[in-house]
Amino acid sequence: MTINNSSRPQTSKQKSNFDVGLSRRFALDRIFQIACWTAVIIGLVALVVLLVDVVIDGLPRLDWTLLSEFPSRRASRAGLKSALVGTIWLMVLTAILTFPLGVGAGIFLEEFVKDTWYAKVIEVNISNLAAVPSIIYGLLGLSVFVRLMEPITGGRSVLAGAMTLSLLVLPIVIVATRESLRAVPDSLRQAGFALGATRWQVISSQVFPLAFPGILTGTILALSRAIGETAPLITIGALTFIAFLPPLSLEGLRTPFTALPIQIFNWVSRPQQEFHTAAAAGIIVLMVVLLLMNATAIWLRNKFQQD
């Protein structure tokens, strides 16, 4: 006759060992929690110190001259007009190029491609491309968009810069699109199929409208990353001194350009303290533009979720 060991009452020694092991696990969890909070606090303190230092240095130089004047060799007359307009050009063109390609690729990979081995390979590669250093995209843009496609892009132009930044953020948009589509309940798809709708009708009428707030938020956050990138633009040859604005036409896409990160980098590299102050003011302008983009993402997300 066998005896079931699980039915035996636990001895005091076993209970003691169990309590010791449980308290040890709780202690490790507490230590891990404290370490995480410590890392967060250290990061926030460092960020606040940097922001306060930048604001203190750049606030005296933050005036209308900074926004309305072109760059100059005199620090008192140097402005961000061409860099600010160039940044707006880059973001608009990058959004126009990235949104349809990224969202279309995300919808195709998530809704139409079957779960096969090559689909998994593509998914892994897209996830890896999202973590590639930006300088690699700059080198790719220099080889393809600046040199190989020079008859189309005009070489070191606004269009070449926008296409390079599009390559940089395209994997992020694809991943955000797929995650937003996955968040939609599968029961909605099944209900649409049960009513006789085609796959495209279900996606366009039911799935995509529900996923659109998340897709839009991911796209704008990806553009927020692109707005602060300096390495790809330096690699493709963005200028540091431009005293004109590109014309608002198709020919303007083929003109040389500069951007806020490039101009800030140029001022920081100069030895005069006045240019360092102007660079701090430029950082404030760049952060304001970035915050406006993020606020727009939050507003659009809430608007479409309510609708």
- Per domain, the residue ranges of the chain are 26-61, 62-306
**pLDDT tens per residue across span 80-99:** 888 888 888 888 899 899 99
> What pLDDT does 116 receive?
79
Judge whether residue 151 has pLDDT over 80: yes
Domain 62-306 fold is: MetI-like fold (1.10.3720)
Q: What is the pLDDT of residue 42?
A: 94
147 DSSP 8-state letter = I
> pLDDT tens-digit profile of 215-271?
888 888 888 888 888 888 888 877 777 777 777 777 778 888 888 888 888 888 888
- Residue 37: the pLDDT is 92
How does the average pLDDT of the chain come out, rounded?
Answer: 83
Identify the band that residue 44 occupies on the pLDDT scale cut at 50, 70 and 90.
very high
What DSSP character marks residue 125?
H
Nearest Cα residue to 209 out of 184, 237, 173: 184
Output the six-digit token pair for 193. Answer: 């199929």
The CA distances from residue 3 to 7, 10, 12, 55, 262, in Å, are: 8, 15, 21, 75, 78
